[in-house]
Amino acid sequence: MMKRILSRGYLLLLLALLYAPIIVIAVFSFTEAKVMGNWTGFSTGIYEQLFSGKSVMIMKSVENTLLIALIAAAVATLLGGIAAIGIYNMRHRQRRMIQFVNNIPMLNPDIITGVSLFVLFVFMGFTQGYTTVILAHVTFCTPYVVLSVMPRLMQMNPNIYEAALDLGATPFQALRRVVMPEIRSGMISGFILSFTLSIDDFAVTYFTKGSIGLETISTQIYADSRKGGLSPEWRALSTIIFLAVLLLLLVINYRTMKHAHNRQSAIRAK
Amino acid sequence: MGRLFRLFGRRSNWALPYAVFLVIFVVLPLLLIVLYAFQDAEGNFTLENFVHFFNQPEVIRTFVYSVGIAFVTTAICLLLGYPAAYIMSRMRSNSAVIVVMLFILPMWINMLIRTMATVTLFDFLKMPLGQGALVFGMVYNYLPFMIYPIYNVLQKMDHNLIEAAEDLGAKPRQVFARVVLPLSMPGVMSGVMMVFLPTISTFALAEMLTLNKIRLFGTVIQENINNTMWNYGAALSFIMLIIIGITSIFTYRSKDGNLNDTGLI
């Protein structure tokens, strides 16, 4: 019993440590003081300020972040999904080779990916901006899509594709009706993973955004913190993002739990 | 068009677009780093960039310091994370899922926002920013990357092995040292790699958490690239690549060469 309390207490302590900064931000998003840590009375002023249309830079960075993440994740999912089917049908040696290269962007620290792509774009004479940032994000997202689709293909019974062909389906039909449903869940999780990786990225964006004034949330925070002091609106924005993520995770979790529960009762009913 | 159709009629060729993409955006950039590292600004072959590195005691000190900080961060993450992962692996699966989610949730929030939050917390508690804040901030940011792979391995472990060891008379400490720990090593290794590699290369975190007082190796690379010292910046990146290569060889030995066993995907 004692051991149980100790171990639960340890987990709680760690979690408290992990959440302490976020809670401090959330609490201080409801006061207007310029410097965080000063409590000048409860107010929703920062939130009003954020949505008043005056916080142009912050809102623009949010828009850029979401747009880049959406495009990069979509391209990565398509590219990675098709590639996974190809890799699955490759011979062993070719497969090992491409899987090895596929691992490189995942092992490389962001700064190396960023610097190396920066050098590439300089070398090719690309003007850096939206396109280069999106290409860079596709580069580090696609490997994760490939990795989340591959296991689904491995689990698939290879004969059902052949069976579809024998039964007169064209390769395209067999792909759409037989292979796609099998790998859809892998592609969805690849997409979600890519989207979050893209939103979270700082270093790669920093090196590939060029000097046209393109800023995402990360690079804007970095620029602001260098100029000394972040404007209070960031506290409100962070709180909103945190609550949105929390809500999303709760919904996903609730759905998977319900799904598992339904499946269990279905099995029991049999 | 007909030829194109025939080319993609073979499904193994479907990986071709991605293969081309990988060559252009992964292999070529790394080769360019190596090339630039061994060139001067005019494009002649030279070792000057590396000589320059070894002639700058300040940069070498920064390099050693960065590796040191990364070691300390990784060690603290391991010491804090292993027990947590172990406790979680022994919980009932329903509550374990919730606790795992709670540990992963902060990871979904932008790292710079989290770092900003850490800075705030230190201000709020009137604690000075500096080395302590840097280590705290890095542990705070990367701890989930340590916990999750270890939890994943421990959770899949066959618990009969522990019972077998107990039946054969092993004391709890022996069970842990001889059975649990060796079996969890793959998780520990991927955790170590997932914490160590990002921590040696970070620059924004260090700037925010120490108010620019402490420079890490990543900061030096970033400054050189920003000041158009591309060749020197590439040489420094090359040195970091070598460190990464060494770390990967030590920690990353997977049978069929993919990262699935980290459990993150």
Q: What is the pLDDT of residues A195-251, one digit of tens each?
A: 988 988 999 999 999 888 899 999 998 888 888 677 888 888 888 888 888 888 788
**Higher-scoring residue by pLDDT: B9, A140:** A140
- Distance, in Å, from the CA atom of A40 to the CA atom of A43, rounded to the nearest integer, reads 9
Q: Which of A180, A219, A218, A222 shows the shortest CA–CA distance to A85?
A: A180
User: What interhelical angle do A130-155 and A92-107 show, nearest 10?
Assistant: 130
Q: Which residues of chain A have pLDDT under 50?
A: none
Buried b (16+ CB within 10 A) or exposed e, B48-77: bbbebbeeeeebeebbeebbebbebbbebb
Prediction pTM value: 0.85
Q: Report CB contact under 8 Å: A21, B120.
A: yes
Distance from CA of A68 to the nearest CA of B (A): 15
- Distance, in Å, from the CA atom of A41 to the CA atom of A51, rounded to the nearest integer, reads 21
Put simply, whether A238 touches B (Cβ < 8 Å) is yes
Query: Distance between the two ends of chain A, CA-based, in angstroms?
Result: 39
**Higher-scoring residue by pLDDT: B78, B183:** B78
Q: Report CB contact under 8 Å: A225, B207.
A: yes
Task: Kindly report, as residue ranges, where domains of CATH 1.10.3720.10 are found in chain B.
Answer: 57-227
Burial status of residue A86 (CB atoms within 10 A of its CB: 0-12, 13-18, 19 or more): buried
Put simply, whether B111 touches A (Cβ < 8 Å) is yes
- Distance, in Å, from the CA atom of B72 to the CA atom of B222, rounded to the nearest integer, reads 23
Q: Which chain A residues are Cβ-neighbours of B90 within 8 angstroms? A: 7
Q: What is the pLDDT of residues B30-48, one digit of tens each?
A: 999 999 999 887 878 888 8
| Residue B200 banded pLDDT, cuts 50, 70, 90 | confident
Distance from CA of B149 to the nearest CA of A (A): 15
Distance from CA of A270 to the nearest CA of B (A): 24
Query: Distance between the two ends of chain B, CA-based, in angstroms?
Result: 38
Q: A228 in the Ramachandran plot: left (φ > 0), alpha (ψ -120 to 50) or beta?
A: left
Local structure of B45: helix, strand or coil? strand
In CATH, the number for domain B57-227 is 1.10.3720.10
Distance from CA of A30 to the nearest CA of B (A): 15
CATH superfamily to which A58-230 belongs: MetI-like (1.10.3720.10)
* Interface ipTM above 0.90: no
The answer to whether B31 touches A114, Cβ cutoff 8 Å, is no
- Distance, in Å, from the CA atom of A145 to the CA atom of A150, rounded to the nearest integer, reads 9
Q: Which chain B residues are Cβ-neighbours of A13 within 8 angstroms? A: none
Nearest CA in chain B to A109: B198
